[in-house]
Every structure is written in structure tokens, then in C-alpha cells.
Amino acid sequence: MAGITDSVETPEPREPRGEGRTTGRRGRRARKGPLARLARFYRQVIAELRKVVWPSRRQLSTYTSAVIAFVIVVICILTMLDWGFSRAVEYVFG
């Protein structure tokens, strides 16, 4: 437990939501029209996509193979469980 300290310091209180913003009835962001907000959203999406570290073709094929193998294993397990339960129900009720 190396990161634990015995201090009892409390964090500084945050400003209430209304303070620190532009004065007036509406904030600065609310003044823009729907097309401007849509354009800003589109620019933000593009900026976030530029930050993504995309996998290489080899990594992608490895991940895809692992997912397909896992799905096949789960399908086999569920098939066996379904078959077993159907046999049990047929034996009990049947």
C-alpha cells in the first residue's frame, strides 16, 4: 500500500455551474444556430478520429481470427447445452 498517505486534505470546492460563464440569459454556445452546432460536432468528430491509433492489417486479422474462434467455441458450448437440456426435458416429460 505504497500510495496511501495519512493526510486528511479535502479538495478545493468547485464553482457553481452558473458562475464563470458569460452574462446574460443564454451562454455563448447557445447563440449558435443548428447548422453551426452540426458543423462544430463534425469538426470535433474528425479531430477525435485523427487521435485514434488504428491497428495494422496483421493485428486486425489476428483480432478477427480470435473473435471468430471464440464465437465458434461459444456456439459449440451452447449447442451442447441446448441438446442436453432438450434430452433432459424429453426424458422427464416424455
Region 61-80: what's the mean pLDDT? Answer: 98
In the chain, where the domains are located:
55-94
Grid cell 474528425 is found at: 46
| Rounded CA separation 70/76 (Å) | 10
Region 67-75: what's the mean pLDDT? Answer: 98
24 φψ region: left (φ > 0), alpha (ψ -120 to 50), beta (else): left
Region 72-87: what's the mean pLDDT? Answer: 97
| Rounded CA separation 26/32 (Å) | 11
SS3 string, 56-85, reads CHHHHHHHHHHHHHHHHHHHHHHHHHHHHH
- pTM more than 0.85: no
Could you tell me the three cell numbers for 8? 486528511
For 9-67, what is each residue's pLDDT tens digit? 666 666 666 555 555 555 555 577 889 999 999 999 999 999 999 999 999 999 999 99
Q: What confidence score (pLDDT) does residue 26 get?
A: 58
